[in-house]
Amino acid sequence: MRVHYLQHVKYENLANMETWLKKRGHQLTKTLLYKNQGLPDLKLFDWLIIMGGPMNIYEHDKYPWLVMEKQFIKKSVEAGKLVLGMCLGAQLLSDSLGGKVTKNKYKEIGFFPATLTKQGKNSAIFKGLPDEFTVMHWHGDTFSIPKGAVRLVLSKGCKNQAFSYKERAFGLQFHFEYSPRHISPFFKDPQNALQPGKYVQSADIILKNKKGYDGIKGIMRAVLENLENSI
């Protein structure tokens, strides 16, 4: 497949997803939005992946390319592309489909459990996964479930963790693509400064959670394979 991804900051790339996709023989292209690169013609890709970032989806003055990006995501969905939004990418996808993005009651940063809803248990994207699994979180905002979409995953700290739209577009508030090497640069960005909270772990706990990283790598493989099989 031809996979195109949108990247918002230098350090939030495909991470472990890139290795998996290349091993499976998929063709990768990208748009570095933070470098003001142009977006591709819809005919040039089959699968769109929208990565995360420390910005908010409504900071149009600071990041003017957000307006263009949202329009592009909407057109990609309308064209029937397979779409996967990760964290900020999920919020952008929700907004593009008419949903709302607002501050969540809690910041979620670190490894915390997530639970499949009834619809999540029946969704192809989570086929083969247990009803509850631990994933990595790094967000302060949350998305609403757009009209026509269904909620797939929830957590104690955030009720909307994942949604699907027509089983072709999927928004995941959480992460499964990182290793300690990939997550380390997060802590160097002042926008990511950690403040104590009910669902906020320390940098030391996050970086040393080997079991957590092993777990999300398995979740990543399962989800990507499920998406691959849906094409």
Q: Distance of CA 73 to CAs 19, 70, 95, 171, 229, Å?
A: 24, 5, 10, 12, 22
What pLDDT is recorded for position 56?
94
Question: What tens digit of pLDDT does each residue of 109-166 get?
Answer: 999 999 999 999 999 999 999 999 999 999 999 999 999 999 999 999 999 999 999 9
Active site residues: 87, 175, 177
* Dihedral sign from CA coordinates of 226, 229, 12, 52: negative
Mean pLDDT value across residues 8-24: 97
- 18 exposure class (CB count in 10 Å sphere: 0-12, 13-18, 19+): middle
Give the residue extent of every domain in the chain: 2-229
Per-residue pLDDT band at 191 (split at 50, 70, 90): confident
Question: What tens digit of pLDDT does each residue of 202-221 get?
Answer: 999 999 999 999 999 999 99
Mean pLDDT value across residues 183-198: 88
Q: Which CATH architecture has domain 2-229?
A: 3-Layer(aba) Sandwich (3.40)
Mean pLDDT value across residues 40-60: 97
DSSP string, 25-53: T-EEEEEEGGGTPPPPPGGG-SEEEE---
Mean pLDDT value across residues 27-52: 97
Q: Quote the DSSP letter at residue 149.
A: E
- Is pLDDT at 76 greater than 80 in this prediction? yes
Share of the chain above pLDDT 90, in %: 94
What pLDDT is recorded for position 193?
82
What pLDDT is recorded for position 6?
98
- Is pLDDT at 231 greater than 80 in this prediction? no
What pLDDT is recorded for position 192?
83
DSSP string, 48-106: EEE---SS-TT-TTT-THHHHHHHHHHHHHHTT-EEEEETHHHHHHHHHTT--EEEEEE
What pLDDT is recorded for position 184?
93
What pLDDT is recorded for position 189?
86
| Nearest-angstrom CA–CA distance, 46 and 19 | 18
Radius of gyration of the chain (CA): 16
HSE-up (13 A, CA, CB side) for residue 227: 27
- Is pLDDT at 86 greater than 90 in this prediction? yes
